[in-house]
Amino acid sequence: MIRDPESFKLLIETIERFVRERLIPREEEVADTDAIPADIVEEMRRMGLFGLTIPEEYGGLGLTMEEEVLAAIALTRAAPAFRSIMGTNNGIGSLGLVFDGTEAQKQKYLPRLASGELIGSFALTEPGSGSDAGSLTTSARRNGDHYVINGTKRYITNAPQAGIFTLMARTDAQSKDASGVSAFIVERATPGLSIGKPDRKMGQRGAQSADVILENVRVPAENVIGGVEGMGFKTAMKVLDKARINIAAVSVGAAIRILDEALQYAIDRRQFGQPIGEFQLVQAMLADSQTELYAARSMTLDAARRRDDGESVTMEAACCKLYASEMVGRVADRAVQIHGGAGYMQASAVERFYRDVRLFRLYEGTSQIQQLVIARQMLRRARR
Ligand SMILES: Cc1cc2nc3c(=O)[nH]c(=O)nc-3n(C[C@H](O)[C@H](O)[C@H](O)COP(=O)(O)OP(=O)(O)OC[C@H]3O[C@@H](n4cnc5c(N)ncnc54)[C@H](O)[C@@H]3O)c2cc1C
């Protein structure tokens, strides 16, 4: 649902110009330094990019899902690390509060997330629980008007920069499954909370992740999201349901950029006396990539529109995340192939994107977990 086509067009044009003129020229610097330059972060704040999805009453732009998808596609034509620094505030780092937070919690944190003054992270994964997130063991023991939290969270995006964490911990020590999990807002400055060294990753340099270590961290009881124990896993799954459509959009944006690079190279590079783009075997790689990209973009927009219409899109979101993240992997692989030896060299953007996009098939639910979600939803719908 596009609410006001004129002002939305302006927003997309502004993002596209920012990507073209400010982000793409700094990609190599980001890869070399493993950080987003401070002046770029400041510009993102001024443009309101940290609050794209946060409701307007809390200082954000309150984009609909369809608008969010189009904005994400525009933004991720630059290296995915740029999107990552603001990605958690627009997604997994704020959605728990947006969906299930109390009014006081929303008032306290959402405006600062929307402005980018505060970075929000989402801490679900642990050393012993990834896909099986419901088995997490980080404990939150009630002690008067506080909880005492102990445990370790792993691979947490933007943990080194974060001011707050939406953190899932087990409040019911007797439980072993998702029913005993609650979601908390944990402030970075709380004594006992420390951040591990940034992870050394395959790609997406500039987008940092790290362990979050909690040793007797005392969190006020008023920081249980929604004020109710035992709802944390449901909150986390609602967050991921929406975020998966965003990852599909991000995959589409990256695929557009990668295919642009491959197409340009196919025009410029000559072998056997002609541009390699004239060879039908190279054309087949371009055509397959374009076809799959078009399919992924169409299905992602369809899921977004359905969500805006109030439909439950758990299955569609998983279909989009599965297909689009696998699609961008194939597109990146073909782009390296079209570049020949140059595609294996770090000087080429496609080499970097090839590594960067590998992540999309892993986080916010691996491809196998998306397959399970899709099949379960199919069976549930058929049994109704
Ligand atoms: C760079 C990065 C950033 C991340 N950021 C965050 C973050 O901000 N917050 C957060 O909470 N987490 C984050 N994660 C964690 C991410 O969501 C998990 O890595 C992911 O969910 C997979 O969990 P795992 O790594 O433990 O793999 P595992 O669950 O151990 O899976 C290993 C393999 O087994 C397969 N598998 C597992 N269970 C099944 C099954 N039932 N059926 C079939 N196959 C199965 C998986 O698909 C995979 O192929 C991040 C990860 C990375 C790499």
In angstroms, the Cα distances linking 166 to 85, 132, 309 are 16, 18, 27
pLDDT at 384 over 90: no
* Residue minimizing CA distance to atom 23 of ligand 1: 130
Which of 83, 95, 155 for mutating ligand 1's site (highest number of atoms within 8 Å of CB)?
A: 155
Q: Where does the pLDDT of residue 67 fall: very low under 50, low under 70, confident under 90, or very high at 90 and above?
A: very high
Tokens of 246: 């965003």
* Residue minimizing CA distance to atom 24 of ligand 1: 130
- State the average pLDDT over residues 320-332: 98
Contact 330, 291 (CB under 8 A): no
| Nearest atom, ligand 1, residue 207 CA | 1
Q: Which residues are catalytic?
A: 364
- State the average pLDDT over residues 86-110: 98
pLDDT of residue 164: 98
| Nearest atom, ligand 1, residue 124 CA | 11
pLDDT at 18 over 90: yes
pLDDT at 173 over 90: yes
pLDDT of residue 291: 98
Number of H helices, E strands in the chain: 12, 9
pLDDT of residue 374: 98
Tens digits of residue pLDDT in 258-317: 999 999 999 999 999 999 999 999 999 999 999 999 999 999 999 999 999 999 999 999
* Region label for 159, one of left (φ > 0), alpha (ψ between -120 and 50) or beta (otherwise): alpha
Buried b (16+ CB within 10 A) or exposed e, 262-279: bbebbeeeeeeeeebbee
Which of 363, 367, 370, 371 for mutating ligand 1's site (highest number of atoms within 8 Å of CB)?
A: 363
Q: Where does the pLDDT of residue 233 fall: very low under 50, low under 70, confident under 90, or very high at 90 and above?
A: very high
Tens digits of residue pLDDT in 105-161: 999 999 999 999 999 999 999 999 999 999 999 999 999 999 999 999 999 999 999
Ligand 1 within 6 A of CB of 362: yes
List strand residue ranges (DSSP E) for 285-331, in order.
none
Ligand 1 within 6 A of CB of 168: no
- State the average pLDDT over residues 1-25: 97
What average pLDDT is seen over the chain? 97
pLDDT of residue 307: 97
pLDDT of residue 356: 98
Distance between Cα 131 and ligand 1 center (Å): 5
| Nearest atom, ligand 1, residue 369 CA | 47
Q: What's at 214, amino acid-wise?
A: L
Alpha-carbon Rg for the chain in angstroms: 21
DSSP annotation string for 41-64: HHHHHHHTGGGSSS-GGGTS----
In angstroms, the Cα distances linking 225 to 24, 106, 108, 220, 229 are 38, 10, 12, 11, 8
pLDDT at 362 over 90: yes
